[in-house]
Amino acid sequence: MVKQIVLVGQPNSGKSTLFNVLSDIKVPTSNFSGTTVKLKESQINIYGEIYNLIDLPGVYSLNPTDEVEKYTYEFLLNSDVDLIVNVVDASLLARSLEMTVELAELGMPMIVALNMVDEAEKHGLKINAKELEDILNVPVVPTVALYGKGGKELVDRINEISSGRTAIPLYPEYTKHLENDIDKLTKNIKPIVSEMKGSARFYAIKSIENPTLIPQSVTSEIQIQRNTIEMELVKNHHKDVFETIHYERHHQAMKIAEKISIFTERKKRPFSEKLDDWLLHPIFGYAFLLSFFVLYFAIIFIIGSLIGSLVDAPIQALAGLFEPLKATQPFIWHSINGAFMGFAGIFGIVLPYFLPLVFLTTIFEDLGYLSRVAFLIDGIMHKIGLHGKSVVPIILGFGCSVPALYATRLIDNKRDKMVTGVLIPFIPCSARISVIFALAAAFTGPLWAIVVFAYLMLVIAITGRIMTVFLKKPTGFVMEIPTLKIPSIKYSFRKTWYRIKGFLKDASLFLMGGSIVLGWFEYFKFGYYINIAFAPIVKFVLGLPMELGSTLVFGFLRKELIIVMMNQAMNITALTQLPLSLGQIIVFIIFVSLYFPCLTTFVVLWKELGFKGVFLSSITSLFVATISAFLFKLVLNV
């Protein structure tokens, strides 16, 4: 049976980066909390033995107060976990060790990966890993996962444990009266949980800490004992039991951190801290934010246009090779031409803009600036009625709506979660940004692209405000802002390649296949009937050519398909050949940016928010898209 290794740690501790070091699969990582919102897994080979490596979402504790913590808690207790690798952020040692203390109570084999030791040293903190190893009785490996340091040592420790080395952690003891209560409850609860994963002590502590975590099979006598302990703790400490136990864990983590830490005087204040004074400034921070977005889109537009112009001529030359088949073998020509249109759409239109977009986003993620963007935007979010944990999914939505929707699991408030989930499909994801810039490069120029983007932000703000006007109480949120770091160009290129490869793998089937199907539609005249069905909206409401109706159907599969389908529907090989006015292009961009989300987003929306969320999102997006496009039609006199 394949052994299972699980990476567990707090958000932004470097778990996913360490996962990349240990595995051949490269999962998305960033210097931004909330990247992992569901598990990632890969099989790895360590000295000839195969292991299943799992990267769990980052959590601050095993007290399931939200869906992510509940998911992690249940996975650890219900899965066959052979080894826990606790990833600790060495630069936030005391806080990170609170999770270590809690995992020690679980009583499962464990290794501590003391990550980001380089950042700790920059702040004048040296950590005695050997002493921490003695305190916990488990292997402790210093690592700098971002640069792959410590990976070999970690693999060796995993191999030692697999070969028989004991790695059951010693748990720190709490104050005497609390320990007495825990011991009494542990003895009584032990026979009941003996067949369950985790130690009896862990279940006893969790039962005291949170009554919803009491094992279902406990007797009424144990339940009474647990309630008595709670009343005594509340009486003695004047706070609820969760706070009492959390305080005890925090106290133990502080004691351990003080014992293993050696503080040295910093020679000077790090440049990253000085830079943060400007980036997070209440006035200059927003100036930097505006400059960031202008620079971000300008670079994407310039590089995308350059790449597009370089590949345009070869694609046009290849397009003429199939023309002789049009008269002699029309069905074969429609099939081959459809496939070629898909190819041309991927490599001539979508990728030129998608490539710099993904690379720049990766750089800014790893730099840590996106967390600062989230911090600044949080104030703006309050103006539209969204608060706290909604910031993270909104920021992730600029990359892809799917992980953004998964990130709504971080939101406790059901109304906030519903509103955020409905707004996410309005956010211009990387696919829609590629469509906007491809059309802007061919027709309108970068200024109109910025106007469209600004309008989309305005739509999100107004829609969010309308939907949240009845919210009674905002949710609180503690936002973690990680240290600014110089990105590793090697890993940035690697992550960019991983994402581009994933895009080609996922999208090529839809793009090529959809283009071939549209070619067949044209051959059998099916496209005409689709266009007739959509004519009331496309032609009369939007003022666009009726032939574009079929592109909206395929755009529901993937937004990038719209560009490919436009070429196919209008029987052209380059966007510059489109017989559309400037006003029609703007109206089309506005509509396709706001109407139904893509199929994958639709499925995840159903999974996360249910039928109500899907229905609300569909109705809202179609209504907003139609009204917005119609207004632009009137203003631009289309």
Q: What is the pLDDT of residue 113?
A: 95
pLDDT grade, residue 26 (50/70/90)?
Answer: very low
For residue 111, what are the CA distances in angstroms to 14, 107, 114, 147, 154? 15, 12, 9, 20, 8
Tokens 């017989």 locate to 579
SS3 track for 293-307:
HHHHHHHHHHHHHHH
Spatial contact of 391 and 479, defined as CB atoms under 8 Å apart: yes
Domain assignment of residue 102, yes or no? yes
- The SS3 assignment for 553 reads helix
Q: pLDDT confidence of 27, banded at 50, 70, 90?
A: very low
In this predicted structure, what is the pLDDT of residue 479? Answer: 62
215 vs 203: CA distance, rounded Å: 8
The one-letter code for the residue type at 527 is: G
- Do residues 457 and 384 touch, judged by C-beta distance below 8 A? no
Q: Are 514 and 554 contacting, i.e. CB atoms less than 8 angstroms apart?
A: yes
Residue listed under structure tokens 């109109």 = 448
Residues 466, 457: Cα–Cα separation, whole Å: 14
Confidence of residue 225 (pLDDT cuts 50, 70, 90): confident
Cα(593)–Cα(591) distance, integer angstroms: 5
Question: Do 628 and 489 belong to one domain?
Answer: yes
Domain finish residue from 162, 188, 221: 162
What is the average pLDDT across 335-353? 77
In this structure, the dihedral spanned by the alpha carbons of residues 605, 611, 612 and 614, taken in order and rounded to 10 degrees, is 40
Residue 17 covered by a domain: yes
**Cα gap 154→47, rounded to integer Å:** 13
Q: Hey, what are 480's tokens?
A: 């973690």
pLDDT band at 474 (very low <50, low <70, confident <90, very high): low
Question: Residue 168: which residues within 8 A CB-CB, separation 6 or more?
Answer: 107, 108, 109, 110, 137, 138
Q: Out of 162, 188, 203, pick the residue that ends a domain.
A: 162
Q: Are residues 599 and 466 in the same domain?
A: yes
Give the separation between CA 83 and CA 161, rounded to whole angstroms: 9
- pLDDT per position as a tens digit, 103-132: 999 999 999 999 999 888 888 889 999 999
Report yes or no on 586 lying in a domain: yes
CA–CA separation, 115 and 123 (whole Å): 14
Q: How confident is the model at residue 624 (pLDDT cuts 50, 70, 90)?
A: very high
Residue 95 in any domain: the answer is: yes
Q: Can you tell me which residue has the tokens 């209440």?
A: 282
Q: What share of the chain is helix, strand, coil (3-state, %, to 5)?
A: 70, 5, 25
Burial class (CB in 10 A: 0-12, 13-18, 19+), 341: buried
Q: Rounded to 5 degrees, what are φ and ψ at 128?
A: -85, 95
Residue 320 has pLDDT above 60, yes or no: yes
**CATH number for the domain that contains residue 69:** 3.40.50.300
Token pair for residue 415?
Answer: 């109304």
- Chain segment 524-533, per-residue pLDDT in tens: 877 778 888 8
Residues composing the chain? 638
Give the separation between CA 295 and CA 258, rounded to whole angstroms.
Answer: 44
Answer whether residue 180 is part of any domain.
Answer: no
Choose the final residue of a domain: 136, 162, 188.
162
Half-sphere exposure of 631 (CA within 13 A, CB side): 9
One domain for residues 156 and 291: no
Instruction: Count CB atoms within 10 A of the CB of residue 382.
Output: 12
Same-domain pairing of 155 and 295: no
Q: Is the pLDDT of residue 35 over 60?
A: no
Q: Are residues 149 and 288 in the same domain?
A: no
Give pLDDT tens digits for 549-591. 878 777 776 676 676 667 666 766 666 677 788 888 889 889 9
Which of 98, 138, 398 is closest to 255 using CA atoms? Answer: 98
pTM of the model: 0.66
**Residue 227 resides in a domain:** no
For residue 580, give Cα distances in angstroms to 53, 442, 483, 543, 570: 52, 11, 48, 10, 10
* Maximum separation of any 2 CA atoms in the chain, in Å: 92
Residues in contact with 38: Cβ distance below 8 Å, sequence separation at least 6, in sequence order: 57, 71, 406
Locate 274 and state its tokens: 């000085």
Which residues on adjacent β-strands are paired with residue 112? Answer: 86, 140
Domain span at residue 100? 3-162
Rounded to 5 degrees, φ, ψ at 498 are: -60, -45
Strand pairing class (40-46; 49-55): antiparallel
Q: Tokens 């406790």 correspond to what residue?
A: 412
What pLDDT does residue 389 have? Answer: 66
| DSSP code string of 118-181 | HHHHHTTEEE-HHHHHHHHTS-EEEEBGGGTBTHHHHHHHHHHHHTT---PPPPPP--HHHHHH
In tens, the pLDDT along 233-290 reads: 888 878 888 888 888 899 999 999 999 998 877 667 777 778 888 988 888 988 988 8
Q: Is residue 174 part of a domain?
A: no
Which residue type does 197 have? K
| Burial (CB count within 10 angstroms: exposed 0-12, middle 13-18, buried 19+), residue 246 | middle
When divided into structural domains, the chain yields a total of 2
* Long-range contact pairs involving 276-284 (C-beta distance under 8 Å, separation at least 24): 276/372, 276/481, 276/484, 279/369, 279/372, 280/372, 280/375, 280/376, 280/481
Q: Contacts for 531-537 with beta carbons within 8 Å, 24 or more apart?
A: 537/626
134-169 pLDDT tens trace:
999 999 999 998 888 898 999 999 999 988 887 889
Is 558 contained in some domain? yes
Give 440's DSSP letter: I
**H helical segments located in 348-445:** 351-367, 369-383, 391-396, 401-406, 414-423, 430-439
**Whole-number mean pLDDT of the chain?**
81
